[in-house]
Each structure stands twice: as C-alpha cells, then as structure tokens.
Amino acid sequence: MISSPPVQTAIQVIDRMARLLDAMARYAEPVSLKYLAADTGLHPSTAHRILSALARHGYVERVEPAAWQLGAKLLELGHRVHVGLDVRRAARPVMDRLCEEIGESVNLTLRAGDEVIYVERATPARAIRVEQVIGSRAPLHVTAVGKLWLAEHGPAGIAAYARRTGLPRYTRNTLTDVQTLTDTALVAAQRGYALDDEEAEPGVGCIGCLIRDAGGRVVAGLSVSAPIERRQTAWIPLVQEAADRIAAKLGYMAAAPAADVAAPASDVAVPTV
C-alpha cells in the first residue's frame, strides 16, 4: 500500500483511480486492462472494477471490449476549470496566430504560489517542437515569464522567494544565485520581455512577456518555447505585440512607452489558482 506521509486524509480507491487515470494519460491509444494493471500494480480484477465504475460516469470509455481510454467527462470538467477562464478565452486566437507566424509552441501561464502553471497552448504542426503539458507547473526562476513575475515584487520579493525555495537547479544554466537572478529579472522587466536560455530544460529556449488586465495587474504570462538553436531574437517584438493584443482585450491601456503610469507593482496580490 502507499505509505502516506503521516496522517493526511487519503482514500484508497481514489488513490488507485488517480493511478489508473495517470497511466491512461501516458498512452495515446486505447490501453488494455493488462497494461493498466501492470502499470499501476493493481490486481486486474480491482483495476477492472474501478475502470467500470469510472466508465459509468464517463471518466473513461471502453472502446471495443478491453480497450480503455480517457473519457469525455474529463473534457467537460477540464473546460469547467475556471482557472483564468477570461484570459484563456481572450488569449486563444492570438496564441494561434502567433504560433502560425513563427511556427513554434506558444504557452499561456498563470501564477500559482511560487510556480507558474500552464493553462493553454498552441502548438505548430512541425515534427520537432516543444510541448508543455496543460496543467503542469514550473518554478518561477527557471522560466521566462516567471522571472518577470519575480521582478514585479522587487529585489526584496526575489530574496524572499530565494529563501523559500532555495533556487533549485534544473540545468547547467539555471540561475541559482540570488544576485544574478535579481539582476536578470530587473533588466528583463525593464525591457518588457524575458528570455529563458535552457534554464529549465536543456535544449529549450523561451521568450516571455506579461499580460495585464484593465486594472494594470499582471494576470498571465505569454511565452514562446523553441529548440534553442531555432529561437530568433526577431520574434521578441511579435511576442510583445501578441501579449499587448491580449491585454487590450482585457481592457488594459498600455502606458506611454517611457513612463510607468500607476502600477503599484510592489505588492501585487498573487491570484491563487
């Protein structure tokens, strides 16, 4: 059995269900009971019972006897997750266009605590591309938009973040030094865009911008992810333009380029996802 950390509330059947769904998510094609049982370590009869119960509610579907896949109910619930629904709707067409223009993956992220969470994406049709899993997370200091987010709270905020997280290293390029991180973030914020040079994953480079709503608050981040050798600095204005277009849909009036108007950036409320 799963030996949970101390006395958290856990329900065996739900843990097993989660294992089954995760296993199914790893396959692109319908999976047989045999593989699911093996992957999850569950007794076949147990796995079968749970899958059948899930199928009654549409969480999984049985296509042909003995071939299971994730069901339409998950599609429905996934679309009901109201994490940043407004931003997502405003961003989607713009993301699709940007993706087509430059031929690389475009991601929309929200902030959740000390992480960004990927909530929407547009991926090009080419063979080699960078693909983030919707719903997955990444720490702020290893992503382009994450660094912009950090800069919003100033050097003190970055120091606090560093203390909380310890700036774990992900690749050779990850910024693990508070001073370097602070400098990089502040410069990036001033320019209006940030880069990620293989700081989260080797071989992957990003360009990121922030998106503000009508009240001037940062509500999301937009980024392009590409194999590092394909990434071009010429895309930077395109990304900025796209982010601005989304912000405009949300009612944000961009300030005159030079002066910062009235964004009390010191202590922005973090939208808990």
State the binding string over 47-86 for DNA (x if CB under 7 A, else -): -xxx-x---------x--xx--------------------
Q: How far apart are CA 186 and CA 176, in angstroms?
A: 16
Q: How far apart are CA 98 and CA 91, in angstroms?
A: 10
Cβ-based nearer residue to a second copy, 217 or 249: 249
Could you tell me if residue 19 is left (phi over 0), alpha (psi between -120 and 50 degrees) or otherwise beta?
A: alpha
Tell me which of 11, 127, 128, 269 binds DNA, using CB under 7 A: 11
For residue 245, state whether it binds a second copy (rule: CB under 8 A): no
Residue 61: Cβ within 10 Å count: 17
For residue 272, state whether it binds DNA (rule: CB under 7 A): no
Cβ-based nearer residue to DNA, 17 or 98: 17
Q: What are residue 196's phi and psi, to 5 degrees? A: -130, 110
Q: Map the footprint of a second copy across residues 96-155, applying CB under 8 A.
A: 96-97, 100, 112, 117, 119, 122-123, 125, 133-137
Tell me which of 4, 18, 22, 44 binds DNA, using CB under 7 A: 44
68-73-74 Cα angle (round to 5): 80
Reported as type and span, the H/E element at residue 208 is: strand 204-212
- Residue 81: both structure tokens together: 């997750």
Q: What are residue 25's phi and psi, to 5 degrees? A: -65, -25
Cβ-based nearer residue to a second copy, 136 or 266: 136
Q: How far apart are CA 80 and CA 138, in angstroms?
A: 23
Number of H helices, E strands in the chain: 9, 8
Q: How far apart are CA 38 and CA 33, in angstroms?
A: 8
DSSP secondary-structure letter at 108? Answer: E
265 binds, among a second copy, DNA, none (CB under 5 to 8 A by kind): none
Q: Map the footprint of a second copy across residues 79-98, applying CB under 8 A.
A: 79-83, 89-90, 92-93, 96-97
Q: How far is the CB of 196 from a second copy (least distance, A)?
A: 21
46 binds, among DNA, a second copy, none (CB under 5 to 8 A by kind): DNA
Specify the residue for token string 């049985």. Answer: 62
Residues near DNA (CB under 7 A) are 1, 7-14, 16, 32-34, 37, 42-46, 48-50, 52, 62, 65-66
Residues near a second copy (CB under 8 A) are 2, 4, 7-11, 13-15, 17-18, 21, 25, 28-29, 48-50, 52-54, 56-59, 61, 63-64, 69-83, 89-90, 92-93, 96-97, 100, 112, 117, 119, 122-123, 125, 133-137, 249, 272-273
